[in-house]
Amino acid sequence: MSANYTGTFVQLIQDEKAFILLVWNGHHKIEMNVKGETKMEFSKREELMAAMTQSLEPMLNEHNLDEIEVYEEEGANELYYMGYTIKKGENVYMIHQPYVKNETGKLALKEHGWTIQSKQGETKGYQSLEEVFNQIQ
């Protein structure tokens, strides 16, 4: 069974031993088994950056943005944040998701939700980029 929800591809794989839910939101894949345990897929930073860079122009046009560029920030305790810096009107937003970095420097999505940071503060828990863009209109 497969479905497509606002830029997120979801596929359920079933066999006699397990159910696995695959979630692909255009940048990374998350596998979740029936128990809700998540298997992280680690990717090279450069691969993630390339995928995100390819999405810039379509997002710029689709959401009537003034500017958009890839955002990244290395945090403490092996955390890494990737997303976008967006300028729309007089407002600038940093939208991102947290990643973990492994011993080889590859990154895996830690949490699916998006965070929006702006001069008005920070809000979390957006489950798709569509939710983010609806919030910043």
Each residue's pLDDT expressed in tens, for the chain with a length of 137 residues: 334 334 444 444 444 444 444 445 555 555 544 444 556 788 999 998 999 999 899 999 999 999 999 999 998 888 999 999 999 999 999 999 999 998 898 999 888 889 999 999 999 999 998 999 999 87
Give how many domains the chain has, as a whole number: 2
Are 56 and 118 found together in one domain? yes
Residues 31 and 59 in one domain: no
Same domain for 93 and 52: yes
Range of the domain at 114: 45-135
CA nearest to 19, candidates 30, 32, 10, 8: 32
| Shared domain check, 49 and 101 | yes
Q: Are residues 20 and 77 in the same domain?
A: no
Alpha helix (H) residue ranges in 7-102: 45-54, 56-62
Same domain for 63 and 19: no
Q: Please tell me the pTM assigned to this model.
A: 0.70
